[in-house]
Structure 1
Amino acid sequence: MIQILIIEDDRHIGEGLQFLLESEGYCAELAMSVSEGREKLEKGKTQLLILDVNLPDGSGFEFFQKIQSKKIPVIFLTALDEEKNIVKGFNLGADEYITKPFRPRELVSRVKNVIRLTGIEDSRKQELIIGNVSIHLEEKVAYKNGKQLELTALEYKVLLLFFENRGRILTRNQILSHIWDDSGNFVNDNTLTVYIKRLREKIEDNPYEPDIIKTVRGMGYKIGG
């Protein structure tokens, strides 16, 4: 799913954009300041940036200059429709420039055009997603709400096994037969209990009432979400 970060200080506009893009099948995240945007950019996997020029704690132009090394396509969003501002945006390397007010369908069309022209790839085929948790198969890392999870090698193996068997009940013996520790040793039943507890603490919103790794009494575990 293509990851889009919106940095817009007007909550009404920002949340409207977020809803619109999510309804089109994109993963959209909203930040309302330069500092918040920088934090989300560093922690997430942004593939396209929609950036307001005038923000409460800085200029969108200056912020973009500082992150150009990341080579993230950008669409500037602003009420400044003067030619000099539009030219400045494109001279900085903007892929598109949209002035407010704008028509929602027009913005979506321009977003799709930038995605097509810049060659942004939809990562859905390389991801397994359940709820707000995703596994990026090529990178062998997992994310929750766009933030990378700190998993051990064995925790990742267990989580991947669960995600690959979504909707199925896995017995403890089935899980144990598929996982080994980093030294190649078989993991025992007590150790598995510890790893599942740790995974729940990392991926569940409420580890005590899990929505993803569910216990099926007397049988094993079933993956929901």
Structure 2
Amino acid sequence: MIRILIVEDEIPISSMIALSLKKHGYACDCVADGAEAADKIEDSRYDLILLDVMLPGLSGFELMDLIRPLEIPVIFLTARDAVEDRVKGLRLGAEDYIVKPFAVTELLARVDVVLRRYKKGAETLQVEDVRIDLRSMQVWRGEELLSLTRKEFDLLVLFARNPNAALYRETIYEQVWGGDLEFGSKAVDLAVQRLRKKVGWEDQLRAVSGVGYRLEVET
């Protein structure tokens, strides 16, 4: 499993990022100061670090001296939006520099891009007899190649990355369509119905009353 270290001293932001990443199948650790981050980095193995600049103890820029020799990719997440700060962060070796406030969907996309660049992201997902190729965006059930729309593919990936977890309609709509669910509840229901039939998950992809849907599979 991909492990990500979140170094962020604003706990609500850190918790929100961790929750979103975990829903996408990543394992996360969170720390709130630079010194604790240094200890974590020395004691554990991480595939990616999301790093604030302004931290108690050691700054994010100072931590780069420790991180760079380990060749762990870094994405800066910071309120410092001056051009010179962006340039400094990238020259210190960061793969990306995202200014707060940011959309979670954008962060997830940038995380995926960096992990693919380092060839650390999973290339395929397997759920029972369904195989999903994330690079080619092709899906097989056994030996049969399925024909899915882009939204159906994204929906399938979301369920495959969160087996046996009840996903709220709001979460599904945000992750697959982007934006607020206010006018999209019916779109979620119709897309799930079509996906059930195409993938043959009439029994596995179940409605959860008052919540949304859950993909029920044996683990």
Report TM bin, short chain: 0.5 to 0.7
Give the distance between the partners of 2:119 and 2:58, measured in 1 at CA: 30
| Letter matched to residue 32 of structure 1 | A
1:43 CA displacement: 2.1
Q: Deviations over 1:122-152 (max 9, x none)?
A: 5x99xxxxxxxxxxxxxxxxxxxxxxxxxxx
Q: Structure 2 regions of 5+ residues with no counterpart?
A: 126-218
Q: Stretches of 4+ moved more than 4 A in 1?
A: none
**Sequence identity, in percent?**
41
The 1:45–1:66 alpha-carbon spacing in structure 2 relative to 1, beyond 3 Å, is closer
What count of residue pairs does the alignment treat as equivalent?
126
SS at match of 2:72: coil
| Letter matched to residue 38 of structure 2 | R
Give the distance between the partners of 1:93 and 1:45, measured in 2 at CA: 18
Residue 174 of structure 1 corresponds to which residue in structure 2? none
Residue 94 of structure 1 corresponds to which residue in structure 2? 94
Tell me if 1:32 matches 2:27: no
Residue 65 of structure 1 corresponds to which residue in structure 2? 65
Q: Deviations over 1:8-39 (max 9, x none)?
A: 00000001111110001000110111111112
Larger Rg: 1
Give the distance between the partners of 1:63 and 1:42, measured in 2 at CA: 11
Give the distance between the partners of 1:6 and 1:62, measured in 2 at CA: 16
| Letter matched to residue 44 of structure 2 | G
What is the RMSD of the two structures over their aligned residues, measured on CA atoms? Answer: 2.0
| Letter matched to residue 97 of structure 1 | Y
Residue 111 of structure 1 corresponds to which residue in structure 2? 111
1:121 CA displacement: 4.9
Give the distance between the partners of 2:66 and 2:34, measured in 1 at CA: 11
Residue 4 of structure 1 corresponds to which residue in structure 2? 4
SS at match of 1:20: helix
Residue 50 of structure 1 corresponds to which residue in structure 2? 50
1:77 CA displacement: 0.8
Give the distance between the partners of 2:39 and 2:62, measured in 1 at CA: 16
1:57 CA displacement: 1.2
Give the distance between the partners of 1:39 and 1:52, measured in 2 at CA: 16
Residue 81 of structure 1 corresponds to which residue in structure 2? 81
Give the distance between the partners of 1:89 and 1:67, measured in 2 at CA: 13
Residue 176 of structure 2 corresponds to which residue in structure 1? none
1:66 CA displacement: 2.4
Give the distance between the partners of 2:118 and 2:8, measured in 1 at CA: 22
| Letter matched to residue 23 of structure 1 | K
Question: What aligned pairs does 1:62-211 form with structure 2 within 5 A after superposition?
Answer: 62-122=62-122
SS at match of 1:67: helix
1:42 CA displacement: 2.0
Give the distance between the partners of 1:108 and 1:54, measured in 2 at CA: 22
Q: Is contact 2:7-2:32 (8 Å) kept?
A: yes
| Letter matched to residue 17 of structure 1 | I
Give the distance between the partners of 1:68 and 1:60, measured in 2 at CA: 12
SS at match of 2:80: coil
Residue 168 of structure 2 corresponds to which residue in structure 1? none
Give the distance between the partners of 1:118 and 1:54, measured in 2 at CA: 26
What TM-score do you get using the length of structure 1 for normalisation?
Answer: 0.53
Give the distance between the partners of 2:62 and 2:69, measured in 1 at CA: 13
SS at match of 2:20: helix
Q: Deviations over 1:28-63 (max 9, x none)?
A: 110111111112222221110000000011210111
Give the distance between the partners of 2:83 and 2:121, measured in 1 at CA: 32
Give the distance between the partners of 2:45 and 2:63, measured in 1 at CA: 17
SS at match of 1:54: coil
What TM-score do you get using the length of structure 2 for normalisation?
Answer: 0.54
